[in-house]
A = this chain, B = another copy of it.
Amino acid sequence: MTLTTASPYGIHRVIEPKGVLPQPAWKIDNSMEIFDNEILIDVSALNIDSASFTQIKKEAAGDAARVEAIVRRTVAERGKMHNPITGSGGMLIGTVLQIGAKLAGKIDLEVGDKIATLVSLSLTPLRIDRVKKIHLDKDQIEISGRAVLFETGLFAKLPADIPENVALAILDVAGAPAQTARLVQAGHTVVVIGGGGKSGTLCVYEAKKRVGPAGLVIGVSPFAKDCERMRELGWVDHALQVDATDAVALMEAVSAVTGGRMADVVINCVNIQNTEMASILATRDGGKIYFFSMATSFTAAALGAEGVGKDIEMIVGNGYARDHAKFALALLRESPKLRTLFDEQYV
């Protein structure tokens, strides 16, 4: 196993500094002859990360030509659209031009397929040939160009039956329902903190399917409107209007609707700080917490559970699970209510 040439992680394309992965690298090789474990993409659009695009627009004083110059300069300097100030990237949409011989036939992808990359632009070799249109209002740049996907690079085939913007909206949080499906079993009591949000709604929906008639799904949001929508959608048994930064309040509310049994599984989807202890107190001894929230503090979770003597398993949310894109898109086909919600709320 040679790891430094044609590495599945793209290490062979790192120019400087040597010995790191493509994401932390300053500069990577964006030549477009692919290795036998790479995929060549004809790029049609770059969806720039919001933090990055905001910074670029500011530097360009809102001028499209200057935005183009900044983007071109970054790609020329780094071989990737990796904003040196924000450190962030984005994703791209394109069509498969060529699949390396070692991958061809072994992956569910063919030349001509339209895909979205699910790995960051901050590690994706990119060449821009022409900038066609800059959408200043939606962080998108239409281009013609080329990009390379590494062997471990994640992508999703864009389906013909779902509009591109709807597909992208659900792909953004595809890990959440896929991980819920693995965690939740029949008869479980499941609490979804932030159950009214985009990823939270998908977790609630999937949890309801899995727990069956003997189970219980409890959605939590501090907002009356979210709780109302959760009740209307009908996938929660209880919608609790509680602020999850108040650990004792959430514990008491969950205790009240579970007769003191508490949750087998707590899924935390709320991107605000200081909700670790509420998650811990809502979980029964021996239960599990899945932290999807990027605002989770590792030490608050670890020390919090030990401090109250809770023997529980706390899992770091992994946005990737095998076939998660396929899984998420299938939900939109399976549930017209979910599809309508995405059409109306999240595009």
| Whole-angstrom distance between the Cβ of A79 and the nearest chain B Cβ | 17
B306 touches A3 (CB 8 A): no
Q: What class of interface size applies to chain A in its complex with B?
A: 35 or more
Asked if A309 is at the interface (CB within 8 A of a chain B CB), the reply is yes
B313 touches A315 (CB 8 A): yes
B281 touches A19 (CB 8 A): no
A247 touches B311 (CB 8 A): no
Report the Cα distance A321→B281, complex, angstroms: 16
Contacts of A153 in B (CB 8 A): 309
A306 touches B319 (CB 8 A): yes
Report the Cα distance A21→B247, complex, angstroms: 8
* Chain B, Cβ-Cβ closest to A255: B1
Report the Cα distance A298→B300, complex, angstroms: 11
Asked if A347 is at the interface (CB within 8 A of a chain B CB), the reply is no
Asked if A85 is at the interface (CB within 8 A of a chain B CB), the reply is no
A252 touches B3 (CB 8 A): yes
* Chain B, Cβ-Cβ closest to A120: B307
Partner among B19, B310, B313 whose Cβ is within 8 Å of the Cβ of A249: B19
Report the Cα distance A19→B19, complex, angstroms: 51
Asked if A317 is at the interface (CB within 8 A of a chain B CB), the reply is yes
Q: Which of A231-247 contact B (CB under 8 A)?
A: 246-247
A246 touches B310 (CB 8 A): no
B307 touches A318 (CB 8 A): no
Contacts A315-B315, A316-B316, A319-B302; A308 near B248 (Cβ below 8 A): no
A316 touches B318 (CB 8 A): no
B3 touches A308 (CB 8 A): no
Asked if A342 is at the interface (CB within 8 A of a chain B CB), the reply is no
| Whole-angstrom distance between the Cβ of A323 and the nearest chain B Cβ | 9
B119 touches A21 (CB 8 A): no
Partner among B9, B21, B310 whose Cβ is within 8 Å of the Cβ of A320: B310
A316 touches B294 (CB 8 A): no
Q: Which residues of A come within 8 Å of B, CB atoms?
A: 1, 3-4, 9, 11, 19-21, 23, 119-120, 123, 152-154, 175, 246-249, 251-252, 255, 259-260, 277, 281, 291, 294, 296-299, 301-303, 305-322
21 A–B contact pairs at CB < 8 A?
A1-B255, A3-B251, A4-B252, A20-B248, A21-B247, A21-B248, A21-B277, A21-B308, A119-B306, A152-B310, A154-B306, A154-B309, A294-B299, A298-B316, A302-B318, A305-B319, A306-B319, A309-B320, A313-B315, A314-B315, A315-B315
